[in-house]
Amino acid sequence: MKKITTLFLLLIGPVMLIYGQNVITPEKLWELERVSLMDLSPDGELVLFGVAHYDVAENKGQQDLYTIPADGGTARKITAFESFEINGQFRPDGEKIGFLRNGYLWEMNTDGTDKRKVSDFTMGGFKYSPTGNHILYFKEVQFGKTTEDYHPDLPHAEARIIDDLMYRHWDTWYEGKHRNIFFAEYEDGKIKGEGKNIMDEPYDSPMKPFGSMSQIAWSPDGKSIVYTCKKEFGKDYTMTTNSNIYRYDLESGETENLTPDNDGYDREPAFSPNGRYLIWNSQERDGFESDRKRIMMHDFETGERVEISEGWDRNADNPQFSRDGNKIIFTSGVHATFQIFEYDLNRGEKRQITDGIHNYYNFFQHGDFIISAKSTMSMPNEIFRVDMSTGEDRQLSQVNTEMLNQLDLGEVKSEWVETTDGKQMLVWMIYPPGFDPDKKYPTILYCQGGPQSPVSQFFSYRWNFQMMVSDGYIVVAPNRRGLPSFGREWNDQISENWGGQAMDDYLSAIDHAAEKPYVDEDRLGAVGASFGGYSVFWLAGNHEGRFKSFISHCGLFNLESWYATTEEQFFANWDVGGPFWEDPVPESYLKHSPHLYAGNWDTPILVIHGERDYRVPIGEGIQAFHTAQLQDIKSRFLYFPDEGHWVLQPQNSVLWHREFIRWLDETLK
Residue 548's pLDDT band (boundaries 50, 70, 90)? very high
Cα end-to-end distance, the chain, whole Å: 33
Q: What is the pLDDT of residues 472-485, one digit of tens each?
A: 999 999 999 999 99
Residues 340, 464 share a domain:
no
CA atoms within 13 A on the CB side of 199: 29
Over residues 547-570, mean pLDDT? 98
Residues 621, 501 share a domain:
yes
Over residues 230-240, mean pLDDT? 97
> CATH number, domain at 656?
3.40.50.1820
In the listed set 403, 425, 447, which residue is the last one of a domain according to the structure? 403
Residues 625, 580 share a domain:
yes
Domain assignment of residue 650, given as a range: 408-668
DSSP string, 255-290: EEES-TT--S-EEEEEE-TTSSEEEEEE--STT-TT
Q: What is the pLDDT of residues 258-293, one digit of tens each?
A: 999 999 999 999 999 999 999 999 999 999 999 999
Decide if 479 contacts 449 (C-beta within 8 A).
no
Tell me, yes or no, whether 226 lies in a domain. Answer: no
Q: Is the pLDDT of residue 237 over 80?
A: yes
Q: Is the pLDDT of residue 3 over 60?
A: no
Q: Is 645 a residue of the active site?
A: yes
Q: Is the pLDDT of residue 669 over 50?
A: yes
Decide if 403 contacts 29 (C-beta within 8 A).
no
Give the whole-angstrom CA distance, residue 191 versus residue 185.
6
Please state, rounded to an integer, the average pLDDT across all residues of the chain.
95
Q: Is the pLDDT of residue 16 over 80?
A: no
Over residues 72-83, mean pLDDT? 97
Residues 570, 469 share a domain:
yes
Which one is catalytic: 613, 635, 653, 657? 613
Could you count the other beta carbons within 10 Å of the beta carbon of residue 438? Answer: 6
Residues 349, 321 share a domain:
yes
Give the whole-angstrom CA distance, residue 594 versus residue 662.
25
Residue 225, CA distances (Å) to 129, 218, 261 in order: 9, 5, 20
Over residues 309-321, mean pLDDT? 95
- How much of the chain, in percent, has pLDDT values that exceed 70? 97
Could you count the other beta carbons within 10 Å of the beta carbon of residue 36? Answer: 17
Residues 502, 520 share a domain:
yes
Residues 510, 466 share a domain:
yes
Residue 438, CA distances (Å) to 112, 146, 517 in order: 55, 65, 8
pLDDT at site 194:
83
pLDDT at site 188:
87
In the listed set 377, 403, 429, which residue is the last one of a domain according to the structure? 403
Residues 524, 388 share a domain:
no
pLDDT at site 12:
40
Give the CA angle between residues 230, 309, 256 to the nearest 5°: 35
Which one is catalytic: 282, 456, 530, 593? 530
Residues 649, 501 share a domain:
yes
Strands, E, within 56-109: which ranges? 60-69, 76-77, 85-90, 96-101, 104-109
Residues 327, 417 share a domain:
no
Residue 346's pLDDT band (boundaries 50, 70, 90)? very high
Q: Is the pLDDT of residue 231 over 90?
A: yes
- How much of the chain, in percent, has pLDDT values that exceed 90? 96
Q: Is the pLDDT of residue 377 over 90?
A: yes
Q: Is 522 a residue of the active site?
A: no
Q: Is 471 a residue of the active site?
A: no
Give me the residues paired with residue 62 across strands: 53
Q: Is the pLDDT of residue 523 over 50?
A: yes
H/E stretch holding 327: strand 327-334
Q: Is the pLDDT of residue 663 over 70?
A: yes
Tell me, yes or no, whether 133 lies in a domain. Answer: no
Q: Is the pLDDT of residue 5 over 60?
A: no
Residue 21's pLDDT band (boundaries 50, 70, 90)? low
Q: What is the pLDDT of residues 104-122, one digit of tens each?
A: 999 999 999 999 999 999 9
pLDDT at site 2:
37
Over residues 196-201, mean pLDDT? 98
Q: What is the pLDDT of residues 31-44, one digit of tens each?
A: 999 999 999 999 99
Which one is catalytic: 134, 298, 553, 645? 645
Task: Characterize the bridge pairing of strands 424-430 and 441-447.
Answer: unpaired
> CATH number, domain at 367?
2.40.128.660
Q: What is the pLDDT of residues 627-647, one digit of tens each?
A: 999 999 999 999 999 999 999
pLDDT at site 20:
44
In the listed set 375, 403, 431, which residue is the last one of a domain according to the structure? 403
pLDDT at site 18:
37
Q: Is the pLDDT of residue 7 over 70?
A: no
Residues 540, 452 share a domain:
yes
The size of the chain, in residues, is: 669
Rounded-to-10 torsion of CA 393, 394, 397, 400: 80
Residues 415, 354 share a domain:
no
Overall domain count for the chain: 2
Over residues 372-397, mean pLDDT? 98
Residue 156's pLDDT band (boundaries 50, 70, 90)? very high
